Structure 1
Amino acid sequence: MSTNVVFLPSTSEENYRWLRVGNGVIAARGEGLPAADDSPAFVIVPAEDVTLHWAALPDRSAAQSVAAARVLVADASAAPIGELHVAVGREAGETDRPIGVVSTAQMQHWLVSLAKAGLDPDAMIPAPMLLPRPAEGYLRADFGGDAVVRGASAGFADDQQLTPLMTGGVAPVMMAREAIEAAIVAAVAAPPLDLRQGLFTKRRRVDINWRLIRRLGWITVAILTISLFISLTQIMQYGFAADAIERRTDLLARQGLARGETVNNAAQQLDARLVRMRGAGMGFSTTAAAVFDAIRAVPGTELRGLAFDQKGQLDMTLVAQNQGQLLDVISHIRAQGFGAEPSTFQQSGNRLSGRITVKPK
C-alpha cells in the first residue's frame, strides 16, 4: 500500500510538494497536492514553525508524558503554555523522547488549509524528524529548498548565521540524496514524532459491521431461548419432586392412621389422632411430667389426686407441710411453661391440702 507524503510550504514558498512512498521506496513525486485516493497521508511541517526538545519522560501513559513535557516547555518557552500545542514522540532504542512545540493557532491554520484542499493527514511530522538521529555531530538535508539540521538532541531549520551558533561551530554533514530518501521512507513507516495528538488527534470513522451485529443478535436470542428452556426444565423438575414428596408424605400419614379408617385428608387426620393419643394442650404426658418434676423438686410435698380433661387441663390434689412449699411447687410448674392456678387450701392437722389446675399458657 502506498503512502502520500506532503511537504507544507515554508514562509518563503507558496506551493505544496509531495512524494509517494510504496514498497519501501519513493515511487513518485510532484508539485502541488497528490490526486485524492485512499492512501494514508503524512504531512511534513516546516522546521521554522516547530520547536524541538528532548527529555527523559515518564512512560506510564501518553497523558503523563504530555503533562511532564508541558512543564518542561513552560520553563523554556516565552509564549504562554496555554497557547502552545505540545506533542511527545519516541525514537527506537533511545531513552530521551522528542517533544514538539507549535502554536495552537498554527496547528489550526494548517489543518483548516489542508481540509480546504481535501486532505485530512494521518500524521504531521516536523521536517527535522525525517532525519535519523546521529550518534555524534549534526546532519543536514535539503528537502527541495528547505534545509534542516538534526543533531542527537536538536532539530531546526538551517540558517547561514544561526546554524553555527546552534552547533557550536561544528559543521553539519550533508546527507546524500539516496540517504535522504531512505530516511523519509523510514520516518513514514514509524513516525518518531506525530503532532496530531490531544486536541488535534485525527478522528477515526467507525464502520458498523451490521452483519456481525445481526449474528450477535441471533446468538443472544439463542442464549436467551436456551436459558428459558433450562429454567422451564428446572421448574418442571422441582414440580415433579414436590409431587413425589407430597405423595410420600401422604403415604406415610396413611400408615400412621388406624387400620380401616377412611382417608380424606391424611395429614389432618394424623394430627387429630396425635391429639387423641397425647391429649389436648401439651398432652397428658408432658403436663404430668412437669407436675412430677415440680413435686420432686420440693421435698415434703405429696400428690394425692390427678385428673386430665379434654381441654388439656390437669387438676392435681397437692398436700404440703406449709404455704411456702405450695408456692415453690407452683413456681416450678410455671417455670416449665405452664400456667398453675391454686384453689383454696385447707389446714388439716399439720398439713395443707388443696387443688392446683395446670394448663398450657
Structure 2
Amino acid sequence: MTMLIFLPSAQRGYRWIDLTEGAMPREGDGIPTSGAPFVAVAPAEAVTLHWATLPDRSIAQATAAARIVVAEASAAPLGELHVAVGDEGTGERPIGVVAAAQMQEWLAALAAVGIDPVAIIPAPMLLPRPDEGYVRAQLAGEGVVRGTAAGFADEARLTELVTGGTAPTTLDRASLTTALADAVAAPALDLRQGAFARRTRRAIDWPLIRRLAMLGAGILLLTLAIDVVRIIRYSTGADALEARADALGRTGLPRGETVTDVDRQLDERLSAVRGPGAGFTATTAAVYSVVRTLPGVEITGLDFQPNGELRLSIAVAREALATDLRSALQAAGFEVRAGVFQSGSGRVTGEMTVSRP
C-alpha cells in the first residue's frame, strides 16, 4: 500500500490518492491519516523537465553533466536550483529542475504534518513514456501531458505550442492506475537527491552483533589456549632440562652417595677437591707465575694448610730477591707473611706464607 500526496499548487491544496494493491484508487482532499509510505507529487508547473544523454557511470558524474545542461537552458542562477537526474532505460535521461527554496518549503511543510516522503516525483513523470506523440491524464484535478522527451502542465495554448498541434492521447482509468503503480514502484525521476536525499535510520542488527561477539570470544579463547599450550611446553622443556642437569650432576658425586641436593653436594665436593680459600691449584699456579718473573728465586717446598694458606720454602741467590718476591706476590693480590731468612752455602733461605685476602 502506498499513498500519493499531491503538493499544493496555485489552483488547489493538498490532495491524495490511495494506491492500495488490488483495489481501485481512492482520492481525497487534505492530509490523509495513514501508516502507509508516502510518495509526494510535485506540481507540473513547479518543475522543469529536460532530457539529455548523460554519463551513466555514477550519479555524481551524471548530475555534474546535467547541471551544465541546465545552466545553458535556465535564466535563474545555478546555485539557486536543485538538479535531479533519473533514468528510464533509454538513451536520454530525464532531468528535473526545481528551485532549492521550493524543495525546502515542501519538505518542511510535509514534516510539519508528520510526513517524510520516500520520494518526490514530478507529476508528468507519473504518466507512461509514449512510444511517439503525447499522452494526457487528469491527476488530482489537474491536467498533465507527457511526451517522449517532454512533460508539462496541460494548458490549452501551451499544449498546442509544444505538441505542434498534435492532440495528446487521453489515458483511460485502468491505464492510469497501472501507470501510477509502476511509477511509484520504480520512479524514473526522484527529486529527493543530493542535499534533499532521504536520511534513513540504520537499525541495529542484534543477531549480527551477537555473532560478532561470539566470534571475538572464540578468537580470544583460541589465543588464550595457544598461550597456555606454549606455557605448558616451556614448563615441560624446563623440567626436562632440570632433570637432565640433575642426572649429569649425579655423575660428579662419589658412587653410592645419597643425593638430596645436587647443586649443594657438588659445591661441597668441589670445595673439598680444590681446598679452602682460592684452592691449592689456583694459589700454587699464581705463585709460580710470580716466581718465574724473578731469576735467582727457587721454591724448595710447598705446604698447603687446611685454612687455605700456602707455606713456601724459598732459596734465593741474595737477600734482596726475597724482598722482591714478597713485593711481587703482594702486587699479585696475595697477603704475604715472611719468616726469618738465613744465609748459608752461598744461598739465602727462608719461608713465606701466602693467602688470598
TM-score (norm 2): 0.66
Find the counterpart in structure 2 of residue 158 from structure 1: 154
Identical counterparts, % of pairs? 52
Counterpart of 1:11 in structure 2 is 10
SS of corresponding position for 1:29? strand
1:87 aligned residue: 84
Correspondence for 2:97: 101
CA shift in 2, pair 1:234/1:31, >3 Å: same
Q: Over the residues paired in the alignment, what is the CA RMSD in angstroms?
A: 3.5
Task: For residues 75-116 of structure 1, give each alpha carbon's deviation from its aligned partner in whole angstroms, at most 9, with x where no partner exists.
Answer: 22111111111111111x323211111100000111111112
Question: C-alpha deviations, 1:246-278, integer Å up to 9, x for none?
Answer: 6457767888x799699956xx99xx9xxxxxx
Structure 2 residue 233 is the aligned partner of structure 1 residue 232: no
Whether 1:48 aligns to 2:16 is no
Change (3 A) 1:241 1:70: farther
Q: Aligned to 2:133, which of 118, 133, 137?
A: 137
Check 1:156–1:248 CA distance in 2 against 1; reply closer, same or farther (3 A cut): farther
Alpha-carbon distance in structure 1 between the residues aligned to 2:247 and 2:34: 89
Flag the 1:26–1:226 CA change in 2: closer, same or farther, 3 A: farther
Return the offset for 1:216: 4.0
1:180 Cα deviation (Å)? 1.3
- Whether the 8 Å contact between 1:5 and 1:18 is mirrored in structure 2 is yes
Counterpart for residue 123 of structure 2: 127
**Residues 246 and 89 (structure 1), Cα distance of their counterparts in 2 relative to 1, 3 Å cut:** farther
The 1-side partners of 2:63 and 2:224 are apart by: 52
Which moves more between the two structures, 68-77 or 246-255? 246-255
Residue 66 of structure 2 aligns to a residue in which SS? helix
* Alpha-carbon distance in structure 2 between the residues aligned to 1:247 and 1:125: 86
Closer/same/farther in 2, CA of residues 136 and 186 from structure 1, 3 Å limit: same
Whole-angstrom distance in 1 between the partners of 2:215 and 2:119: 40
1:306-347 per-position Cα deviation (integer Å, ceiling 9, x unaligned): xxx99xx9xxxxxxxxxxxxxxxxxxxxxxxxxxxxxxxxxx
The whole-number CA distance in structure 1 between the counterparts of 2:217 and 2:198 is 37
Give the counterpart of 1:206 among 202, 208, 231: 202
Amino acid at match of 2:34: A
- Whether the 8 Å CA contact 2:16–2:140 is kept in 1: the answer is no
- What CA distance in whole angstroms lies between the structure 1 residues aligned with 2:115 and 2:63? 27
1:115–1:253 Cα change, 3 Å:
same
- After superposition, the Cα gap between the structure-2 partners of 1:77 and 1:250, relative to the gap in structure 1 and judged at 3 Å, is farther
Task: Give the number of the structure whose alpha-carbon radius of gyration is greater.
Answer: 2
Alpha-carbon offset, residue 19 of structure 1: 1.2
Deviates more, 1:207-216 or 1:119-128: 207-216
- Determine if the alignment matches structure 1 residue 191 to structure 2 residue 187: yes
Alignment of 1:253-332 (within 5 A): none
Conserved in 2, the CA contact under 8 Å of 1:128 and 1:150? Answer: yes
Report the equivalent of 2:34.
36
Question: Is the CA contact 2:250–2:262 (under 8 Å) kept in the aligned structure 1?
Answer: no
Return the offset for 1:45: 0.6
Deviation for aligned residue 1:122: 0.8
Show the counterpart of 1:295. none
Task: Rate the CA distance shift 1:132–1:252 in 2: closer, same or farther, 3 A.
Answer: farther
Matches of 2:136 and 2:189 in 1, distance apart? Answer: 19
CA distance in structure 2 between the aligned counterparts of 1:230 and 1:26, rounded to whole angstroms: 68
The alpha-carbon deviation at position 208 of structure 1 amounts to: 2.8
3-state SS of 1:44 partner: strand
Structure 2 CA distance for partners of 1:252 and 1:171, relative to 1, 3 Å: farther
1:40 counterpart letter in structure 2: P
Q: Secondary structure at the match of 1:161?
A: helix
Change (3 A) 1:264 1:248: closer
How many Å separate the matches in 1 of 2:64 and 2:181?
A: 31
Contact 2:25 2:177 in 1 (8 A): no
- SS at 1:52's partner residue? strand
- Alpha carbons 1:100, 1:195 under 8 Å: kept: yes
Q: Which residue of 2 aligns with 1:171?
A: 167
Contact 2:246 2:262 in 1 (8 A): no
Query: CA separation in 1, counterparts of 2:92 and 2:246?
Result: 86
| CA distance 1:247–1:78, change in 2 (3 Å) | farther
In 2, Cα distance between equivalents of 1:196 and 1:26: 28
Within the candidate set 75, 78, 86, 2:75 is matched to 78
| Higher mean displacement: 130-139 or 224-233 | 224-233
Partner of 2:325: none
Measure how far apart 1:23 and its partner are. 2.1
Cα gap change, 1:25/1:64 in structure 2, threshold over 3 Å: closer, same or farther?
farther
Mark the runs of 5 or more structure 1 residues left unpaired by the alignment.
273-308, 314-361
Q: Structure 2 vs 1, CA of residues 162 and 249 (structure 1 numbering), >3 Å: closer, same or farther?
A: farther
Q: CA deviation at 1:28?
A: 2.7
